Each structure stands twice: as C-alpha cells, then as structure tokens.
Structure 1
Amino acid sequence: MLRSLLTPRWLLLHLLFIVVTIATGFLAVWQWDRAHDAGGSFQNLGYALQWPLFGAFTIFLWIRVIRMDLDQRKEQDGSLEPDADQDSEREPPESAERSAPRRKRPLVPPPAPRVDAEEDPELAEYNRYLAELNDSDKR
C-alpha cells in the first residue's frame, strides 16, 4: 500500500505539497515583517495570520488526497480478490466495472412541466422569451 505512494507521480506531488507548505510559511513571515515596518498596515497583519491557515489547509489536502488514493486502491484490490463464500465461477474484471453502483440522480435534471398562459401568464411569457433566445442562438 505505502509503496504506491513512492511512485514518480506521488513523489512529484509530495514535493509540490512540501514546497507550497514551506512557501506559505515564508509568506507569513514576510507579511509579519511588513506589518511591523513603518509602512505596514493591519492588512499585512491579516495576511500574516492567513498564510499559516493556507499552509494548514495544504497539509489537510495532502493527507486527504493520500487517504483517497489509498482507499481507492483498497477498493480495487478488494474487488479483484475472490471471496471464499462465492463459487469458483468468477465474472471477468470488465463486468465488475459495469456492476459498479450507478448514480441515484441524473446529471441533468428532467425538464420542468410546461406552464400554460392561464396558469401563470408572466412565467409563460418568460418561457416564450427564453425559447426565442434559444432559437436565435441556434441560428
């Protein structure tokens, strides 16, 4: 499991997260020094307090991405291992992808029911206007 975090892709990601975290520390110190200079302001002080939060958030994201990748690898490894309870007849891996859980709701919601001018004349007029705009865009 942890060996997968030492691939070239992951090493580059680790390096990126480390560089960003160190950079936020340097930026916090720089803003802190600017706040205490003669031309410094409360805005510099605010930034000096925000940069460590950005660094902490970077560390949080780093841990979260690692966990997500490890969980994904566990699911992939677990789905490919045969269970002792099942028969020796196993489905090929392609069918395992097809049997993955589907979305509960569609990506695009179904269209709303049409509104007649008798029900809501203002909304019907607005819908006609939108339909005209759509037709002009198609042309």
Structure 2
Amino acid sequence: MNVVARRVGIVLLCVVSLVACVGLAWWQWQRFENGGTWQNLGYVLQWPLFGLFPAFMFWRLRELRARTPPREQPVSHAAPPPEPDKTPIRQDAVDDDPELAAYNRFLAQLNARDQQETR
C-alpha cells in the first residue's frame, strides 16, 4: 500500500471517529436535557476528546518519526557471526586469582552438563 493511500485512510478514520464521537456527545446532551444526570453532562465533554484522540496520535507519531534519524543500512541476517576470540588465556593470570579459577571451573562444569543434556 502506498503512502498516500495509507495517509488518506488514516485521515478518513480520524474524521469518522470524530463524527461518531460528536454524535455520541449530542446523544448524551439530549439525555441530560431530558432529565439526565451530571454523568451525562460529563460524557458530553468526554466524547469529543475521545473523537480527537486518533488525530492526536497520528500527529504525535508523525512528530516522533520526524525527530528520529534515519537508519543507516539494514543489517543483513545472513551474515556469519563473528569469530570467537581465540587468544589463549594466560595460565599465570588464572593461577594468581583464585576467584577467577573457581569461576572458570564452574563454567566448565556448566558446559559439561549442557553437553551431556544435548546428546
């Protein structure tokens, strides 16, 4: 669907919404005049706001879209993942830090458990 047809459809939806809600406000006004309650008068004030809401959202989304910078290039999902870092870990650094060594043992256990579950 092209942009012009889409915008015309949105404008028509906003107009229909406003006309319908003004009609509902008129109906509530008639009820209020014929012995209705204050609640009917409240609806007389609310219905036009409900009718204007789609037009407000259309305007707001256009403003937000105009503020955001355009995307550079779409990311291709077919690109291969980057190669993992194959730099060897210095064993002296692992031996110096007991917390790091314990963490690495824990990761090795998790990897071994995951490998057994996937078989």
Report the alpha carbon displacement of residue 13 of structure 1 after superposing the two structures with TM. Answer: 1.1
**Structure 1 residue 36, shift from structure 2 partner:** 0.5
Query: Where in structure 1 are there 5+ consecutive unaligned residues?
Result: 81-92, 97-139
Tell me, in whole angstroms, the C-alpha distance in 1 between the residues paired with 2:20 and 2:12: 12
* Aligned with 1:51 (options 47, 55, 61): 47
Determine which structure has greater relative contact order: mean sequence separation of CA pairs < 8 Å that are 6+ residues apart, divided by chain length: 2
8 Å Cα contact 2:14-2:52 kept in structure 1: no
Q: Percent of pairs identical after alignment?
A: 36
Structure 2 gap segments, 5+ residues each: 77-119
The verdict on how the C-alpha distance between 1:18 and 1:65 changes in structure 2, with shifts beyond 3 A counting, is: farther
Q: CA RMSD in A?
A: 2.7
Cα deviation per residue 1:66-121 (whole Å; 9 max; x = unaligned)?
2234445xx22xx55xxxxxxxxxxxx2459xxxxxxxxxxxxxxxxxxxxxxxxx
Q: Distance in 1 between matches of 2:8 and 2:67?
A: 19
Q: What residue in structure 2 maps to residue 100 of structure 1?
A: none
Number of positions where the alignment pairs a residue of Structure 1 with one of Structure 2: 76
Deviation at 1:19, TM superposition (A): 1.0
Give SS of 1:62's match.
helix
Pair 95,28 (structure 1): closer, same or farther in 2 beyond 3 Å: same
Distance 1:21 1:29, change over 3 A: same
Secondary structure class of the residue paired with 2:42:
helix
TM-score by length of 2: 0.50
